[in-house]
Structure 1
Amino acid sequence: MKREPVTAHAPSYYAASATPQPLRPALDTKLDVDVCIIGAGYTGLSAGLHLAEAGFSVAIVEAARVGWGASGRNGGQIVNSYSRDIDVIEARYGMETARALGDMAFEGGRIIRERVARYAIDCDLKDGGVFAAITPGQFTHLKKQKALWERYGHTQLQLLDQIETRQIVASDRYCGALLDLSGGHIHPLNLALGEAAAFESLGGRIFENSPAIRVERSFRPVVHTPGGSVTANFVIVAGNAYLGGLIPELAAKSMPCGTQVVATEPLGALADTLLPQDYCVEDCNYLLDYFRLSADKRLLFGGGVSYGARDPTRIEAIIVPKLLKVFPQLANVRIDYAWTGNFLLTLSRMPQMGRLDHNIYYSQGCSGHGITFTHLAGRLLAEVLQGQATRFDAFATLPHLPFPGGQLLRAPFTALGAWYYDLRDKLGI
């Protein structure tokens, strides 16, 4: 069968600097495996690697290329916990659920470091992440966050006053910060490519340019692609924001959203004056900004959200003014790359895991905390397929709520809520 062209990666700094990867074949036959995974992003790769290590035969079908979606376009920051922190989980779902999820809140970052060490993945891993407070109210919240995380056993934290923060981030924008030494940053696409290579080294198979177009639910489900099919004992749906309408009941309970990133020209010695310890940073606003240095000393700066995943026509016009609020000294610096990508938002802002049938599982909706949670999710999916359901069910039992107004009105309703919180940020409430 003639091979169709493989969809190119987004025109990002990551794609331009990625480790060379092979062109993987499109699926053009019928396969029979233990597990078929839909999606070669972090969730699918993490699950596949855990399962391959346990001896399962696994095939991953990917609509474009490994790491083509959010896994290869994100800000590259290793951020612990969830988009809604453990105190919110306590209030909403009770202490038993909070204890279960709290025990896993810092595991995703450890999994990443385990993978990088075990498989010698070259992804520019650097330790240290900073939550930067713009207002005194935000700094008070950081004090509470530190106490909360320490209550759940996470002790690699330091509160920084304004002077100490200024020594870490060369900006007058922040009044204090919380340093998480177990946070950090990576080249996200190279992490995905390295995990794919590790998976393949254990016998796993990845088929690119092979979108799942139908899932046949039966005693042994079948995933159909344009050129072939995979029959499996289990199917894992890991398409996240790029799943489309393949599984309608999942699309009804989530919403793709866009975020934007720019990369400056290499800054040389100037870069070391901006972020002397080479930590990554995110602020504490509801619609937050995030930034860090790349290995070749570019400033990568992201932020902004477009609800409904409408790509902005001028990414620089959205991001550069935010960048200059933090670093006005970069007014004359050239922007070499600007790109956008989608992440998947849920109404509760909590990730969604569950079963579509006794042999079809899914994970989606990290709501902006995807780098760490997807790696945890892969481990939990591998556990449940091996009969260990307790940790998976801690997430699966959370309510997965549809957005008000359905798919037609979810974007404007959510944008209205975001406008309200953005106004609170601007007023310092």
Structure 2
Amino acid sequence: MRPPLKEHIKTDVCIIGAGYTGMSTALHLAEAGYRVTVLEASRIGFGASGRNGGQIVNSYSRDIDFIEKHYGKDVGKQMGQMAFEGGRILRRFVRDYNIQCDLKEGGIFAACNRRQFNELEEKKALWESHGHEGLELLDSKQTMEHIGTDRYTGALIDHTGGHFHPLNLVLGEAAAVESLGGTIYEATPAISIEEGSMAVVKTEHGSVTADYVLVAGNAYLNGLLPKLESKAMPCGTQVIATEPLPEDVQKRLLPKDNCVEDCNYLLDYYRLSGDGRLIYGGGVTYGAREPSKVESLIVPNMLKTFPELRGTKVDYAWTGNFLLTLMRLPQFGRIGSNVYYAQGYSGHGVTCSHLAGKVISDAIRGQAERFDVFAGLPQYRFPGGRLFRIPFTAMGAWYYNMRDQLGV
């Protein structure tokens, strides 16, 4: 545990939040010689960065064709050029700083019906039109060579996808930041931000005066910037980890050791951990409510995919919050001239948060063209305010889930 801030200090850049967005930004800036100070309300990786499913999934929660349709070909082209960069940044950090996070290659999108497989064919063509390579379509028989279940109609392998230990990644990035002279304070929630030519971030026992501030708390801002929080909604996802499985069982479940996510709106995702456990996640609770028992939500889905695991012990179960936006696109922006924010990756945060760190660090260094593409996307408040945004969103999710179940 790193100590909390108990003094008044000055720095070049103050970052609020020690998750992937904060660590990627801090590491890019520290590499460029900036003095970086990070304030974390709890512990490094406490939020989605330490609790996610550990999968490298390219692009955004809304894909490039949606962006082109709603915001124009030019915006779609520019965002398409960035859509596959986050995974490369993540891998560079792992390589350059020797981060031990069980990084493995290859991610699979699995289709539960013919409609979804047709959509995977379209995804392959779309991504390839934006220069992305390493994609391979599988029919149902070929899919079973990668996933030990007959549940899927077909699949798409992204050979540039992959999986890793999420908490170990962010801890390794934090250590890299510190190796370059950056400072991280834990148990130090930001209480307020005073704007000005030099911004001041106040905490309970100290303050940080900085040329620039990045707000990277995502679903855990806890009242710091109410106007920012009104643009998105915290949502919970649930994950379980089985006991370590015998090697022959591992080989039957995932013979190629790829990670998998299905194509349902309320999707399942799973992979093998470095110590041979099946990590299985899925489901959404809107408004970040804590489910009474994670296992009751996830185990039935796991057994639907892998019936042979009936009776397998679940050693760990947890939930954590990601941040959903109305358009399911990330929200980047500035408050004044020197307070930046990035949030709302809507379930695609692993790669996009690492991209955000590069884009924001470039903007702070005076190269804001790519940042401005994201910042130019409209940012809407959820309809109905705090009272109705949860039931409205849940109704929409129910509709899309029913479509998945019916295969239409």
Q: Indicate whether 1:111 and 2:99 are aligned.
A: no
Q: Which of residues 358, 364, 375 in structure 1 aligns to 2:337? A: 358
Q: Indicate whether 1:324 and 2:313 are aligned.
A: no
Q: Which of residues 319, 329, 341 in structure 2 aligns to 1:340? A: 319
Deviation at 1:268, TM superposition (A): 1.8
SS where residue 382 of structure 1 aligns? Answer: helix
SS where residue 383 of structure 2 aligns? Answer: coil
Q: Which residue of 2 aligns with 1:418?
A: 397
Q: Which residue of 1 aligns with 2:237?
A: 259
Q: Which residue of 1 aligns with 2:102?
A: 124
Taking structure 2 as the reference length, the TM-score comes to 0.99
Query: Which residues of 2 match residues 22-421 of structure 1 at below 5 A?
Result: 23-269=1-247, 270-421=249-400
What stretches of structure 2 of length at least 5 have no aligned partner?
A: none
Runs of 4+ displaced beyond 6 Å? none
The separation in 2 between residues aligned to 1:242 and 1:78, in whole angstroms, is 22
The separation in 2 between residues aligned to 1:408 and 1:62, in whole angstroms, is 29
Deviations 1:194-237 (A, max 9, x none): 00000000000000000001111122111111111000000000
Read off the aligned partner of 2:402 and give its amino acid letter: L
Taking structure 1 as the reference length, the TM-score comes to 0.94
Deviation at 1:248, TM superposition (A): 1.0
Deviation at 1:57, TM superposition (A): 0.4
The separation in 1 between residues aligned to 2:39 and 2:325, in whole angstroms, is 25
The separation in 1 between residues aligned to 2:223 and 2:346, in whole angstroms, is 19
The separation in 2 between residues aligned to 1:408 and 1:208, in whole angstroms, is 33
Read off the aligned partner of 2:228 and give its amino acid letter: L
The separation in 1 between residues aligned to 2:259 and 2:336, in whole angstroms, is 40
The separation in 1 between residues aligned to 2:122 and 2:103, in whole angstroms, is 28
The separation in 2 between residues aligned to 1:336 and 1:120, in whole angstroms, is 29
Q: Which residue of 2 aligns with 1:9?
A: none
Deviations 1:115-140 (A, max 9, x none): 00000000000000000000000000
The separation in 1 between residues aligned to 2:288 and 2:300, in whole angstroms, is 21
SS where residue 277 of structure 1 aligns? Answer: coil
The separation in 2 between residues aligned to 1:111 and 1:277, in whole angstroms, is 24
Read off the aligned partner of 1:121 and give its amino acid letter: I
Read off the aligned partner of 2:281 and give its amino acid letter: G
SS where residue 278 of structure 1 aligns? Answer: coil
Deviation at 1:244, TM superposition (A): 1.7
What stretches of structure 1 of length at least 5 have no aligned partner?
A: 1-22
The separation in 2 between residues aligned to 1:296 and 1:117, in whole angstroms, is 21
The separation in 1 between residues aligned to 2:8 and 2:287, in whole angstroms, is 36
The separation in 1 between residues aligned to 2:177 and 2:306, in whole angstroms, is 41
SS where residue 43 of structure 2 aligns? Answer: coil
SS where residue 223 of structure 1 aligns? Answer: strand
SS where residue 213 of structure 1 aligns? Answer: strand
Read off the aligned partner of 2:361 and give its amino acid letter: A
The separation in 1 between residues aligned to 2:227 and 2:163, in whole angstroms, is 34
SS where residue 103 of structure 1 aligns? Answer: helix
Deviation at 1:155, TM superposition (A): 1.2
Deviations 1:244-298 (A, max 9, x none): 2101111110000000000000002211210011000000000100000001110
The separation in 2 between residues aligned to 1:69 and 1:360, in whole angstroms, is 22
Q: Which residue of 2 aligns with 1:12?
A: none
Identical-pair percentage: 62
Deviation at 1:86, TM superposition (A): 0.5
Size of the aligned set, in residue pairs, is 407
The separation in 2 between residues aligned to 1:255 and 1:309, in whole angstroms, is 8
The separation in 1 between residues aligned to 2:330 and 2:76, in whole angstroms, is 14
SS where residue 174 of structure 1 aligns? Answer: coil
SS where residue 168 of structure 1 aligns? Answer: coil
Deviation at 1:407, TM superposition (A): 1.6
CA RMSD, Structure 1 to Structure 2 (Å): 0.5
Deviations 1:11-52 (A, max 9, x none): xxxxxxxxxxxx211000001000000000000000000000
